[in-house]
Amino acid sequence: MGCLIDGVWTDQWYDTSKSGGRFLREDSQLRNWITPDGTPGPSGEGGFRAEVDRYHLYVSLACPWAHRTLVFRKLKGLEDLITVSVVHPHMLGNGWEFREDDPTLADELYGSECLHQIYTRARLEYTGRVTVPVLWDTLRETIVSNESSEIIRMLNSAFNKLTGNALDFYPEALREEIAPLNERIYTTLNNGVYRCGFATKQEAYEEAFTELFDTLDFLEERLAGQRYLCGNTQTEADWRLFPTLIRFDAVYHGHFKCNRNRIVDFPNLFGYVRDLYQHPGIRNTVDFWHIRQHYHYSHDSINPHRIVPKGPDLAPYNLPHQRAGLSQESLL
């Protein structure tokens, strides 16, 4: 995971020397919004109107942050409106890369070799991490946003008039309940697995580890009597959580040393993640080959010989989730 400094690529890992060995994630910098009429959103500038065939997503099938956007693209029926380019799972000295010899891993727009070239195409002297997802505007040839939590909110509502899809995963009535869930889950679990895996001091690791499993215990109890995080209604809180849970047993448990329990050891959480995985179209957004290859092959500070495990067996995700009885009302 390198970065750009004044538009020049540098293979530079995260520096934990000034944070007590704690991994600190850099905030996303590019945060404009697509809106139905192109008026400015909560941040950034205006001019990004929701249109057919105007926007493009750059993603990694391994990355949980990018996975969120693919889930919302599916849930909101946007596959025919927003195209996608997928990077190769091995993130080495050049960061996220494309493969010209594999059309499934090529930059469909410009034939770029590396994702950092997309960043400098938008901002020639960009300084910062080069991350996915990237929401690209083909009309203005610039990045709309590289902040996943805001991209999914755009996808949730900005294109409704074009698609006729009125599903709302951020309903007004539940926002006060969603906000603290999002905050806790992001800090201790979504980002918490990285805080465990990338810690360089024992104290920093144990701090993150404790917070992570406190949250998993909290979620296990919360899901004992309700189908989703906010009762009987699927919300963005569920779909922000899902990409982390579906990767947990495959990579975070071992590779990132999050090994007190697996998700399969939590009856309610395991049923819950199967419920979401089996939601129509969602399993097609999950690629365990990309997930395993990326984490185990890319992080040579953790796995210097780049050995990719064959396990664990992932077949249980297809078992009946048996959670429908917890919901007495239909989804939104």
The distance between the two most distant Cα atoms of the chain, rounded to a whole number of Å, is: 55
Residue 230 annotated among the catalytic residues of the structure: no
Rounded to whole angstroms, how far apart are CA atoms 179 and 286? Answer: 26
Give me the catalytic one of 3, 63, 196, 230. 63
Architecture of domain 3-163: 3-Layer(aba) Sandwich (3.40)
Are the beta carbons of 62 and 132 closer than 8 angstroms?
A: no
What's the rounded Cα separation, in Å, for the pair 67 and 247?
Answer: 11
Intrachain domains 3-163 and 173-284+315-326 with the same fold: no
The C-alpha atoms of residue 123 and residue 153 are separated, in whole angstroms, by 24
The yes-or-no answer on residue 3 being catalytic is no
* pLDDT on residue 314: 77
Task: Write down the pLDDT at residue 211.
Answer: 98
- Do the Cβ atoms of 35 and 46 come closer than 8 Å? yes
> Which of 170, 186, 194, 297 is labelled catalytic?
194
Residue type for 32, please?
A: N
**Assigned CATH topology for domain 173-284+315-326:** Glutathione S-transferase Yfyf (Class Pi); Chain A, domain 2 (1.20.1050)
CA dihedral 297, 298, 303, 305 (to 10 degrees): 60
CA-closest candidate to residue 256, choices 183, 314, 190: 190
**In terms of DSSP bridges, do strands 128-129 and 55-59 run parallel, antiparallel, or are they unpaired?**
unpaired
CB 193 within 8 A of CB 199: no
How does pLDDT run along the chain (332 residues), one tens digit per residue? Answer: 789 999 999 987 777 877 888 877 778 889 999 999 999 999 999 999 999 999 999 999 999 999 999 999 999 999 999 999 999 999 999 999 999 889 999 999 999 999 999 999 999 999 999 999 999 999 999 999 999 999 999 999 999 999 999 999 999 999 999 999 999 999 999 999 999 999 999 999 999 999 999 999 999 999 999 999 999 999 999 999 999 999 999 999 999 999 999 999 999 999 999 999 999 999 999 999 999 999 999 999 899 999 999 888 876 899 999 999 897 543 44
Q: What are the sequence ranges of the domains in the chain?
A: 3-163, 173-284+315-326
| Cβ atoms of 294 and 63 closer than 8 Å | yes
Q: What is residue 100's predicted lDDT score, i.e. its pLDDT?
A: 85
Name the DSSP letter for residue 274: H
Residue burial 125-153, b: 16+ Cβ < 10 Å; e: rest: ebebbbbbbbbbbeeeebbbbbbbbbbbb
